Amino acid sequence: MVELSELQQERLKHKPQLPAILKNKFSLIKPKTGKKTGSKSDEKKLQEIFKNTFGKPIITFIKGKNNNINKNPINVGVVLSGGQAAGGHNVICGIFDALKKANKKSKLIGFLGGPSGIIENKLKELTKDIIDKYRNTGGFDMIGSGRTKIETEEQFEKTKINVIKNKIDALVIIGGDDSNTNAALLAEYFAKEKMNTQVIGIPKTIDGDLKNEEIETSFGFDTAVKIYSELTGNICRDVLSAKKYWHFIRLMGRSASHITLEVALQTNPNIALIGEEVLQNNWTLSKIVDYICDAIIKRAELGKNYGVILVPEGLIEFIPEFKELIKNLNEIMAKNEDELNKIENTKDKKEFIYSKLNESLVNLMKSLPDEISSQLILDRDPHGNVVVSQIETEKLLIEMVQKKLKEMKKQGIYKGKFAAISHFFGYEGRCGFPSNFDANYTYALGYNAVLLILNGFTSYMSAIKNLTEQPKKWNAGGIPLTMMMNIERRKGEDKPVIKKALVDLNAKPFKVFSALRDELKIEDKYISPGPIQYFGPAKIVDRITKTLKYERSKR
């Protein structure tokens, strides 16, 4: 028996709050259907791909007698897909409790190790004894996760065989934008094959880039940014104490800078680089270095040879020159995969790639430190793209800032001292105990997914809305997965993908930050938000992120 900490023992007792609508008997909750939906873009192409599932209406659950709800026992499969996010276990607990409320004979089947568990038929029934050990805990260790994509004909066929073999009536996929794209493709495949198996998605990603008007936030974001903000706040306090280092902190968030923006709003660092702004303003790497050096020089003139800089892990992909380089590298690597695999020497691989790039991109790649240029070609994600998270952008910036300041010191422009320390806050935020918000939100998402299943819906994402209010005032329903899609280039081919939500530079969260940053560059107005609190005054334990608060505040 694994020994539990005092906190874990107390968290196991926590009873997540549900939206008032979900507390009713299921036979007294009915779905209200809205208008037919379209897609983010590329509607004609998506209609062709999703012939059986495109254009479904948005669903809202309301009070009312429901004679059509399924009251028979059902088998529901659940799979965790992609990176961990706090609250994943509570989604599963919510599914389990709702299933047993509907019919005690219903079963919850966990597929092990992510989507590969479906393909390889690795599974186990999740009983009360198992479920109760994981309530309100972090991590995905109840059933494990994985990044396998179900995309080949053989994989789809094996999925079909195993779903039928195990008599799975519905499949709940807990994941991010790619995982839920996979959910949509599975739902379409099942419909095409005349199978009755339903598919429901759950919005998960700490990056915060799976959201829209109907999905207000993805789960795990709240917990992750509170963990990163605590760590960053601690660094800010250390900076004020030591007053001799510049701390460059790289934060999770490859394709969007939501985490960096939220941590900046919570801690008031001297500089927070927002990738979306860099892209919009066409900042080169040199421009970013100049921007940082300007702040360092101005602070040095005031005797402040210290500071805190936040860097999103995907920054390099937002710099136009690098965006173009990475786009070309992705295409080249996809088209020449077999040939590149035969080349063992990294130097020779680079020479091969140089022969495929135009002169300006070759010069850019050669100007980078050898370690960075190697990372650009050696590490690829499952989709064949550059693994931006592995590129130590904060160290690249430190090296270039040091070089620039050295030149400026020779010219007499800079007279301060520059010593830098680098950090990467990433995995620290993925498996923490879910905040009260995430514990409640994820439980409601899982519980609501069962209601969608019992009402016969498929190719939907579980949606809980009105999140700035207390949980009892939250709304429940579902939105079509295809509604969030567009066509993107993956491995040299056009693919349907749920569109990532980037930081909106015209929205309130960024505007609040941008109004403060000139002052923060010079003044020391650091905030230390401290650790996540689970017990105590509501204003502390139930606080939501500033991003959610500002985005959903009444205008």
Q: Dihedral (C-alpha) 239, 242, 243, 245: value to the nearest 10 degrees?
A: -70
Give how far Cα 146 sits from Cα of 139, 200, 388, Å.
13, 18, 19
Cβ atoms 200, 478 nearer than 8 A: yes
Distance CA 90, CA 443 (A): 5
Q: Would strands 271-272 and 307-312 be described as parallel, antiparallel, or unpaired? A: parallel
Burial (Cβ within 10 Å: 0-12, 13-18, ≥19) of residue 30 = middle
Q: State the Cα–Cα distance between residues 338 and 329, nearest whole angstrom.
A: 15
In terms of phi and psi (left: phi > 0; alpha: psi -120 to 50; beta: otherwise), the region of 307 is left
b (16+ CB within 10 A) / e for 446-467: bbbbbbbbbbebbbbbbbbbeb
Choose the catalytic residue: 207, 209, 222, 438: 207
DSSP state of 500: P
CA-to-CA separations, 516 to 211, 272, 528, in angstroms, rounded: 26, 11, 17
Helices 258-267 + 508-522 axis angle, to 10: 50
Neighbours of 29 (CB within 10 A): 21
Structure tokens at 275: 């990738």
- Contact between 46 and 487 (Cβ < 8 Å): yes
**Catalytic residue list contains 97:** no
Tell me the residue length of the chain: 555
C-alpha 277/C-alpha 295 separation (Å) is: 18
* DSSP-H helix ranges across 428-507: 436-454
Instruction: Mark 81-103 as b/e (b = at least 16 C-beta within 10 Å).
Output: bbbbbbbbbbbbbbbbbbbbebe
Question: What tokens appear for 340 in the block?
Answer: 């590149």
Beta strands in 332-448 (DSSP E): 420-425
* Cα separation values, 513 from 211, 262, 265, 553, Å: 20, 9, 6, 16
DSSP 3-state percent helix, strand, coil across the chain (nearest 5):
45, 15, 35
Report d(CA 69, CA 539) in Å as an integer: 39
The C-alpha atoms of residue 258 and residue 251 are separated, in whole angstroms, by 10
- What are the catalytic residues? 207
